[in-house]
Structure 1
């Protein structure tokens, strides 16, 4: 078996790999495969002899240099970086490197995987979630400085944190004097999330804005009691209509 392996042509194996591969030693590129030529948009002759650090942003070069040096001893962990191609465009990539011997020379073989589409999808998803969170913090204005914050669906910690940042700001901007926080659309309570909701109530109080809780169903009230959360810091009503009656709005 070992004899068969010894007959494998290493250069043929990496030349026809679909992933871009770079082999370098002493900060000098000594080989790239065809996939790397295509990915970096350059000829082999333009790349071989250059420093592998040239593809990185200036702010990353020191860290990458240390990573390369450590990779001579053992394989480095996979990292994500933004790199330059020869035409000046950038790409987001995953990098994995490990030591290899080219005859008697110890070198580093670096795998480059393009993850630009993945990072762009993540960016668009973040933007979409920010838009959703922005909408979820919409205060519905009524009369006489009264507005409603309808809480709907599941609220995770990130969404609760954004509510804490946005709701008091919007309440102040809209000159809200009393905010009805309606829980009727909430599926369940979570202690971390609920802590954020009550922090919103506290911040509103500091801003001189009164808050009223509505729509806290029996099962939610039981969860709140089990979590030792006091719901008595602000008035609580069964429905938004009850809150409006309490405020004398008809």
Structure 2
């Protein structure tokens, strides 16, 4: 079951000097919320708060209606820097969340193998991170994030360092995985076109608060950028930035 994440009057940062102030936001179960904003506008700060790594300085943050009090296995983080452990193979990096939770080794094999297959890394299980391309490393990170069946995945510009072709492939992979898992996704990006492709809604951060939230026309398709409704939304988001 996916997770509902709710902010009510949320302030983040030092008292008197908030990075974000008075944010009201509801991320529905199974929704993909894309978060955009200028550099330093609080996107990553919001994501870390949702992960339980940063305490609010005001307001409240809820997970399924209960106060969010810290990190938990039901929320997984995915960063632009893949953070793979260089001495661990692909398989051992993917199984890391299960090992931390002390899942017996025999019980790890099936979900680890399944996720390595889902992200298209069969045959590379024994390779070390230095032997992988940037796109392959991000696939490992995605599998590692999802192997523990989180109810929400929080992604901080995970494809920002990839070349255009690899980035497009990773976007499609994420959508394919999400359609099977239907977990809640909060996806931070600088790229408005990426937000339009991936998000059910787009939250625009600006001026230290939530400037706007827009519904995104469907279906998800890179070709929909020519659609007049999508073009108007793109212009509105860019104007808000």
State the TM-score, normalized to the length of structure 2. 0.29
User: Comparing both structures, which one devotes a greater share of its residues to helix?
Assistant: 1
Higher relative contact order (CA 8 A, sep 6+): 2
Q: Which has the larger radius of gyration?
A: 1
